[in-house]
Amino acid sequence: MSTGKPKPRPAPIISRKGRWSHAEIERVKRWFGSESEAAIAKRLKRPVASVRRIILKIYDQAERRSGPWAPSEIMELKQLFGRAKLPVIARKLRRTPKDVEHRLTLLRGQIRPRAWSSQDEQELKSYYGSRSDADLTVILGRPVQQIEEKAQQLCLAKDKSFQHRAQGVQRVRMPRWSDEELKTLIRLYPNTPNIEIARVLQRSNKSVVSKANDLELRKSSDRLRRMGQENVSLRHGRAPSESEDRETERESGAPS
C-alpha cells in the first residue's frame, strides 16, 4: 500500500459569466474560424454555450455580403481555407456557403505554374505547416509538384499538430537528434543560415530552430548584422541570397 501523500486535485476552471466586454468580443472575432468554439471558450474562460451564442450574435445578425469580392476578403478566405469547414468560413466572411464555394471554384481555375518571388516564398512558409497539399494548391494557385519542390528546397515540414489531425493519432514521433547531429548544429548555428543547416542535417527549418531554442543557441553578431541587411533588401524589393532564412532565424530567439 502506498504511503505517499495523495496528489492534489487540479483547481477547477471557473467560467466567467455576465456581459461580454469589448475586448472579449474582439478576441472572438480574431479567433473564430481558426480555433474551435471549445478552444475559444477555454482561452476566455467562458462556457462553450456562451461562446456559441456570442458567435451567433456577431455573425448571424450581421448583414450578408454579396456581389464582387474585395481583395481583403479573398485573402481572408485563403487564411481560413483548410482550417475551417465551409459553413464556418461562410459565417466568418458573412457570405453564403454557395458564394464561398463559387469563389473557391474560381481559385481552383487559377492554378498554374509560375516563378516564385520572395513574397511567394514567405506565403508558402506561412501556410505549408498547417495545410494539406490539396489545400495549398488552392491557396497558392500552384500545382502540387511545384509546391513540393519549393518546400523541399526551403526545408519545410508539416506541423506536429497538423500531422496529429491528418493521421488521426494522438502523437507523432519525430526523429531523435543524434549526438553527431547536435555537435553539427552547435558548430554551425552561430554563423550559418538556418536553411543551410537544415540541408546539411536533412531536417526542416522548424526542427533546426526548435532544437536551437532548446539548447539556447544564438546567432553571432556578424550573422545578425547580415540578417539586418537582408531585411532591408527585402523591404526595397530585392531578393537577398539568404532571404529564405530570415523568418526562421528571427524565431530562433536571437537578440535583435
* pLDDT over 50 at 245, yes or no: no
Model confidence pLDDT, tens digit, residues 7-19:
666 555 556 778 9
Q: H helices within 94-245, ranges in order?
A: 97-108, 118-128, 133-140, 144-153, 160-167, 179-188, 194-201, 205-214, 221-235
pLDDT top residue among 67 and 248: 67
Q: What percentage of residues in the chain have a pLDDT greater than 90?
A: 46
The DSSP output letter for 57 is I
For residues 123 and 140, is the Cβ–Cβ distance under 8 A? Answer: yes
Q: What is the pLDDT of residue 247?
A: 43
Mean of the per-residue pLDDT values of the chain? 83
Residue 120: alpha-carbon gap to chain centroid:
15
Checking 118-121 for CB contacts under 8 A at 24+ apart, the result is 118/234, 118/239, 118/243, 121/150, 121/154, 121/243, 121/244
CA pair distance 189, 76, nearest whole angstrom: 36
Model confidence pLDDT, tens digit, residues 190-208:
988 888 888 888 888 888 8
pLDDT-based confidence at residue 29 (cuts at 50, 70, 90): very high
Which of 99-103, 169-173, 215-219, 244-248 shows the highest mean pLDDT?
99-103
CA pair distance 110, 146, nearest whole angstrom: 14
